[in-house]
Structure 1
């Protein structure tokens, strides 16, 4: 792959940042023209970096998953294992609705096998979150029977349950906090 000029790299990074915000706000059908306008570039610049909507969505999706995996890595050595796990789960929860919209749009425009091969988001998030779950369980802050798969399924369920709620972000955050109090009731009582 050829090395990008500095301005081209800045444009690419800016486009991804703006695209992530617009997709989070408007869903996977967000306007590429609006993304270009908000990023301060022309639509030709968007098309040079992302020749199709699936290419843009794939990049946003990968960026989100990469960010969550990096965050899990940083939190893995935090002093408070419970807080580290909960911080990460809250961020996964915030991203879940966007992931669902991106995945649905990519499936519409490509084959499911291509999407799964390209991202394997579930496997990557499971691998990234496992050390956080293990440390929280060892610290007595999480039921040892709870797995990373259980917690990711919980977040996915919350995302699905709140999909059509007028304020999905607020409602999904509220439900996650309710679930946290349920899976860690002794910790919730200590804070009261």
Structure 2
């Protein structure tokens, strides 16, 4: 495994400014926010932005990573006493988060093609947690035998994409859909 060289202080500051600008613009304009405007707001050139984030996907992953990490930590902190409810609650949190944060669902659905392990960290975190929750629910007989982690990720993301900027509707539609996955 290749070691990542730590950034110099100025490089770290540039990266943080790029992420702050990107978070603001993605929040306002969604995942298609202008990369040129991100660089301009961060006070860096386009080459600097691309040195830190070689693709739009890499930048989106970094922008969403913190929020997704919090969602994943929240799921890991819960005991598995009620596997079906735990799975449903976490899928609801994920769906509401992705509906609220425009572009995250599409970024997660884009998958790991051509990305480094660091760039797909966000997607991997979600799949890791969802795999555990699905296994618990399946073991408890609380999940339809044919439902897979990938199915549930697509379901949550499709609902989030269809209801971007409308987390209340996303929550309601997910709850309706989840009644169909229980045996």
TM-score w.r.t. the length of structure 1 is 0.60
Aligned to 2:91: 89
The answer (yes or no) to whether the contact 2:134–2:149 under 8 Å persists in 1 is yes
RMSD (Å), alpha carbons? 4.3
> 1:63 and 1:22 mapped to 2: Cα distance?
10
The 3 A distance-change label for structure 1 pair 91 and 54 is farther
**Shift of residue 30, structure 1, vs aligned partner:** 1.0
> 1:88 and 1:3 mapped to 2: Cα distance?
35
The answer (yes or no) to whether the contact 1:33–1:43 under 8 Å persists in 2 is no
Aligned to 1:98: 103
Aligned to 2:33: 30
Aligned to 2:143: 143
TM-score w.r.t. the length of structure 2 is 0.62
Q: Does 1:20 align with 2:18?
A: no
Which one scores higher on RCO, CA 8 angstroms, separation ≥ 6? 2
SS at structure 2 position matched to 1:76? helix
Of 169, 172, 175, which aligns to 1:171? 169
The answer (yes or no) to whether the contact 1:103–1:115 under 8 Å persists in 2 is no
> 1:12 and 1:172 mapped to 2: Cα distance?
33
> 1:168 and 1:77 mapped to 2: Cα distance?
27
Aligned pairs for 1:109-188 within 5 A: 113-115=113-115, 119=120, 125-138=126-139, 142-145=142-145, 146-159=147-160, 162=162, 167-183=165-181
Gaps of at least 5 residues in structure 2 are none
The 3 A distance-change label for structure 1 pair 49 and 120 is closer
How big is each residue's C-alpha offset from its partner over 1:6-30, in whole Å with a ceiling of 9 and x where there is no partner? x542442343244134224313331
The answer (yes or no) to whether the contact 2:72–2:129 under 8 Å persists in 1 is yes
Bigger helix share: 1
Q: How many residues align?
A: 172
> 1:135 and 1:90 mapped to 2: Cα distance?
17
SS at structure 2 position matched to 1:114? coil
How big is each residue's C-alpha offset from its partner over 1:53-76, in whole Å with a ceiling of 9 and x where there is no partner? 853541322553575367435523
Aligned to 1:60: 60
